[in-house]
Amino acid sequence: MFQIDCPWCGPRDQQEFAYAGEAAIKRPENPASLSDAEWADYLFMRTNPRGRHHEQWRHVHGCGQFFDVVRDTVTYRIESVDVPGRPALGDAS
């Protein structure tokens, strides 16, 4: 069971969290302008790397917040935890 460092609550057991898919999948600005193939790419295509993976988790049984995690899919080491669009906590800049 992972220990995930929620950016808002601190380290908690994995059972408090829910996986929420790959991170940084941006919804197209204007879906109507996309071809079926382009839309399908946004809808269905996800990376499945052996190694570093950018993913989203939600502290569903805690603060309820979504955040980004960089995790190694082989070693399960969590490299970083980040709030999308905000500087990481402890980041002085």
Partner 1 sequence: MSQQTHRLSQGGRIDRGREIRFTFNGREYTGYAGDTLASALLANGVSVIGRSFKYHRPRGLVGAGPEEPNAIVQVGLGGQTRPDQRATQVELFDGLVASTSARLGFDPMGLNNTFSRMLPAGFYYKTFKWPAKSWPSYEKRIRQAAGLGYSPTEPDTDRYDHMNAHCDVLVVGGGPAGLAAALRAGRAGARVMLVDENAEFGGSLLAERDAQANAIDDRSPHDWIAASVAELSAMQEVRVMTRTTAFGNYDHNFIGLMEDKADYRGGPGAGEVRHRLWRVRAQRVVLATGALERPLVFGNNDRPGIMTASAVSTYLNRYGVAPGWRTVVFTNNDSAYQTALDLKAAGRDVAAIVDIRTNPTGALADAAREAGIPIHDSSAIIKARGSRRVKSVQIAQVKYGQLAEEGDTIACDVVATSGGWSPVVHLHCHIGSKPQWDDEAACFLPGPDNPGQSSAGSVTGAFSLRKALSQGFEQGGAAVAELGFEPTAGAAPSAPAPGTVMPIQPFWIAPTGKPLSRGPKQFVDYQNDTTAADIALAVREGYESVEHVKRYTAMGFGTDQGKLGNINGMAILASLLDQSIPETGTTTFRPAYTPVSFGSVAGRTADHLFDPERKTAMHDWHVQHGALFENVGQWKRPWYYPKDDESMQAALDRECRSTRNGAGVLDASTLGKIEVHGPDANRFLDMIYTGGRRKMKTGTCRYGLMLHEDGMIFDDGVTAKLDENHYYLTTTTGGAAGVLNWLEQWHQTEWPDMDVFFTFVTDQWATVAVNGPKSREILQALCDDIDFDREAFAFMTFREGTVAGVAARVFRISFTGELAFEINVDANYGRHVWEAVMAAGAPHGITPYGTETMHILRAEKGFIVAGQDTDGAVTPMDMGMHWAIGKKKDDFIGMRSLSRADIVGEGRKQYVGLVPTDGSIVLPEGSQLVNDPEAALPMPMVGHVSSSYHSDTLGHSFALAVVEDGRSRHGETVYSPQVDGSVIAATITDPVFYDREGARQNV
Chain residues in the site for partner 1 (CB under 8 A): 1-3, 13, 18, 20, 26-27, 30-32, 34, 36, 39-40, 43, 56, 58, 60, 64-66, 74-78, 84-85
At closest approach, how far in Å is the CB of 53 from partner 1?
Answer: 15
Contact 4, 17 (CB under 8 A): yes
At closest approach, how far in Å is the CB of 65 from partner 1?
Answer: 7
Q: Which is nearer to partner 1, 39 or 70 (CB)?
A: 39
Q: Which is nearer to partner 1, 28 or 47 (CB)?
A: 28
Q: Which is nearer to partner 1, 13 or 47 (CB)?
A: 13
**Burial of residue 68 (number of CB atoms within 10 Å: 0-12, 13-18, 19+):** buried
| Residue with token string 């709030």 | 83
Report the b/e string of 38-64 with b at 16+ CB within 10 A: eeeeeeeeeeeeeeebbbbbbbeeeee
